[in-house]
Amino acid sequence: MKSLLFAIMYPNQKLLNNSISILEKEFGKIKAKSPEYDFNFTNYYEKEFGKNLKKIILVFEKTIEKNDLIEIREKTAEIEQKLSKNKKRTVNIDPGYISKTELVLATKKQRSFKEYLGNYIYAHKVLEFKDKEIITFWHTFADYKTKLIKNFILSSKI
């Protein structure tokens, strides 16, 4: 069983609330929400979004299959576009799933360690789970390696 997951990066509470409202209408109820945290791991997004970004991870009750990520990633791109201002995104919504064995995010960025799903969408395994151990990789995003996120993941795994 793979539970639908969204990682949302945003500059203010209003944009987060708008994003969550749209996602709930589209995908149903949230079953777990990480604590909000400062996204200060890279300046990659500053040009588009500005500084002082926050991030949150939401796990939904909805279960999916890996190939559903194609359509879901396309839908989140539409949502990001809808919430854009002056042709710039105001939120970044990364869809994915969490299962007993892994956390996977959907992306449009191709790399050798990502699995091609179709329609220019790739599956990026960010974390792997064995018993109560969380395994990271050289390509695991820095925030997914933090104690805060690891504790959230351990508490919300199915």
pTM over 0.75: yes
- Residues of the domain holding 140: 2-156
Give backbone dihedrals phi and psi of 25, rounded to 5 degrees, phi first: -65, -35
**What distance in Å separates the CA atoms of residue 74 and residue 26, rounded to the nearest whole number?**
13
The total of structural domains in the chain comes to: 1
CB 90 within 8 A of CB 84: yes
Q: What is the pLDDT along the chain (158 residues), one digit of tens a residue?
A: 999 999 999 999 999 999 999 999 999 999 999 999 999 888 877 888 888 999 999 999 999 999 999 999 999 999 999 999 888 899 999 999 999 999 999 999 888 999 999 999 999 999 999 988 899 999 999 999 999 998 998 887 65
DSSP string, 36-81: PEE--S-STTHHHH-SS-EEEEEEEEEEE-TTHHHHHHHHHHHHHH
CATH number of the domain that 85 lies in? Answer: 3.30.70
